[in-house]
Amino acid sequence: MPKERLHAVLGPHGQEHLLAFWDRLDTEQRRSLAEQIDRIDFELIRRLHADRDRPSDVHELIARAEPPPAIRLDSVTTAEQSKARRRGAMEIRAGRIGAILVAGGQGTRLEFGKPKGMFPIGPLSGKTLFQIHVEKIVAAARRYGARIPLYLMTSPATHRQTVEFFAAHERFGLPAEDLLIFCQGTMPAVDAETGRVLLEEHGRIAASPDGHGGMSAALLHGGALDDIQRRGIQHLFYFQVDNPLVDICGLEMIGHHLLADSELTTQVIAKRDPLERVGNVVQVDGRLYVIEYSDLPEEAANRRNPDGSLTIWAGSIAVHVISAGLLRRSAESADALPFHVARKAVAHLDHSGRRVEPSEPNAVKFERFIFDLMPQARNAIVMEVDRRLAFAPLKNASGAEQDTPEIVRDQLMALHRDWLRWAGAEVSDEVEVEISPLYALDAEELAEKLPPGTRITEPTYFRP
Ligand code: UTP
């Protein structure tokens, strides 16, 4: 695009500063900058920036929040669990379930320098998050004699390395036709005061992935929704890259989702204390919503039901089963998921081209969140899980107080020790153990394989 055309595009939006260094760019850099500009919806950016301080209606939600309809750990009967498991297994066998893994985040807090999925988390095996996740899918597909396609979302920050990593490891055993990697979009960071889009380099706009909620649009544009439809997939098991404990395509969750004729079922943990820093799943007017912990005042967090239990008790762990129909509805409507505004310190070039590294937030970023799908879902329900068995997110680098590699590995080993004991083995808390998903996906499968009287006294990695 010639410079004059770009001026004509940018002028009406007050964004012509993006061309300030045009004359210093080579042909390739110019082409790239023109492309970046072309992808931005400047009218949307203007609107989002203008609304950046608009009070949200979260106070209204908080005031009216009720506990969500839930499958609770202490009230679900064994018969109900078995029924759900049978229903879930039937659906997987019929090839109507797929998996969605979102791995487009920048993983800033982990300070790893590569996509988070490439982080070696297996306590003894050193397997990466990606490998552990994929092997669960491969093992489940084998167990149920079904295809379970994986739709893997990357972002420009993680795409190339992820694609290369999967190719180099032959997709960890997943058939080529069952892996679809698609890339989410980005949103530019803008100066908080002026709304001007920031430049990171002379020819590069400061942009970051548009949030895990960018998944809806990316599923559509990346061809995944068509693939889902073509295969007759009805529901998708959604999970995030950072939690190696997640029971991918867990039968009980899929079963409860189907039995409730739900369009979205989400896993929750009972909060340890009212102010625990997790998203809060609540019900308002028969619809599910997530209230972020940063929005929840202490008085509301402490509200109690007549029986004394917490009203806002359900903490989200970002594991969902979502119907393909809901995904398509949301993907096809541009405004289906709202943008959230975050104030961030963003490094950029000033008008003279000097790099500025602010220590305080100078910019706003815009992200979509997948949990905003919830209010649109018919019959949405929550399913409670035991956090010890289901939730260990890798968020922070070693040395932090929580969610570090060491803590995640310990939790993975504790889970596997539990399985071993359930399966009849003797193992003390100090012994390091790890079970490959290809050896056993759960305690029941492990019990079928372990010789009776097994005693584990030294570090042991169970693999086929
Ligand atoms: P987080 O919000 O924890 O972000 O993502 P992150 O990138 O892992 O880490 P920080 O905040 O930069 O330290 C939760 C999940 O959502 C995905 C992440 O890859 C992770 O699986 N995600 C997040 C996306 O796929 N795209 C995004 O734009 C943001």
pLDDT tens per residue across all 464 residues of the chain: 678 899 999 999 999 999 999 999 999 999 999 999 999 999 999 999 999 888 778 999 999 999 999 999 999 999 999 999 999 999 999 999 999 999 999 999 999 999 999 999 999 999 999 999 999 999 999 999 999 999 999 999 999 999 999 999 999 999 999 999 999 999 999 999 999 999 999 999 999 999 999 999 999 999 999 999 999 999 999 999 999 999 999 999 999 999 999 999 999 999 999 999 999 999 999 999 999 999 999 999 999 999 999 999 999 999 999 999 999 999 998 778 999 999 999 999 999 999 999 999 999 999 999 999 999 999 999 999 999 999 999 999 999 999 999 999 999 999 999 999 999 999 999 999 999 999 999 999 999 999 999 999 999 999 99
Does one domain contain both 191 and 275? yes
Is 281 within 8 Å of 316 (Cβ atoms)? yes
Is 251 within 8 Å of 140 (Cβ atoms)? no
Number of domains comprising the chain: 2
Of residues 318, 83, 41, 307, the one with CA closest to residue 185: 41
- pLDDT of 225 reads 97
Domain stops at, among 361, 392, 423: 392
Does one domain contain both 213 and 314? yes
Query: Is the CB of residue 215 below 6 angstroms from any atom belonging to ligand 1?
Result: no
- pLDDT of 410 reads 98
| Tokens matching residue 459 | 């570090």
Does one domain contain both 159 and 303? yes
C-alpha dist (Å) from residue 78 to 73, 74, 85, 443: 11, 11, 10, 16
- pLDDT of 336 reads 80
Distance CA 215, CA 87 (A): 27
Does one domain contain both 318 and 417? no
Alpha helix ranges (H) inside 350-442: 387-390, 405-422
- pLDDT of 47 reads 95
Residue 3 belongs to a domain: no
| Tokens matching residue 149 | 């396609």
**Which of 151, 154, 162, 212 has the most ligand 1 atoms within 8 A of CB, as the residue to mutate?**
212
Residue 163 belongs to a domain: yes
Terminal CA-to-CA distance of the chain, rounded, Å?
A: 56
Does one domain contain both 363 and 437? no
Does one domain contain both 265 and 401? no
Angle, CA of 405, 410 and 415, to the nearest 5°: 125
Query: Is the CB of residue 316 below 6 angstroms from any atom belonging to ligand 1?
Result: no
Query: Is the CB of residue 241 below 6 angstroms from any atom belonging to ligand 1?
Result: yes
**Which of 100, 101, 102 has the most ligand 1 atoms within 8 A of CB, as the residue to mutate?**
102
- pLDDT of 56 reads 78
Q: Which residues span the domain enclosing 97?
A: 57-392
Query: Is the CB of residue 393 below 6 angstroms from any atom belonging to ligand 1?
Result: no
Query: Measured in angstroms, how far is the CA atom of residue 102 from the centroid of ligand 1?
Result: 8
Query: Is the CB of residue 240 below 6 angstroms from any atom belonging to ligand 1?
Result: yes
Find the farthest-apart pair of alpha carbons in the chain and give their distance in angstroms, rounded: 79
| Tokens matching residue 166 | 């999967």
Query: Is the CB of residue 196 below 6 angstroms from any atom belonging to ligand 1?
Result: no
Distance CA 336, CA 322 (A): 15
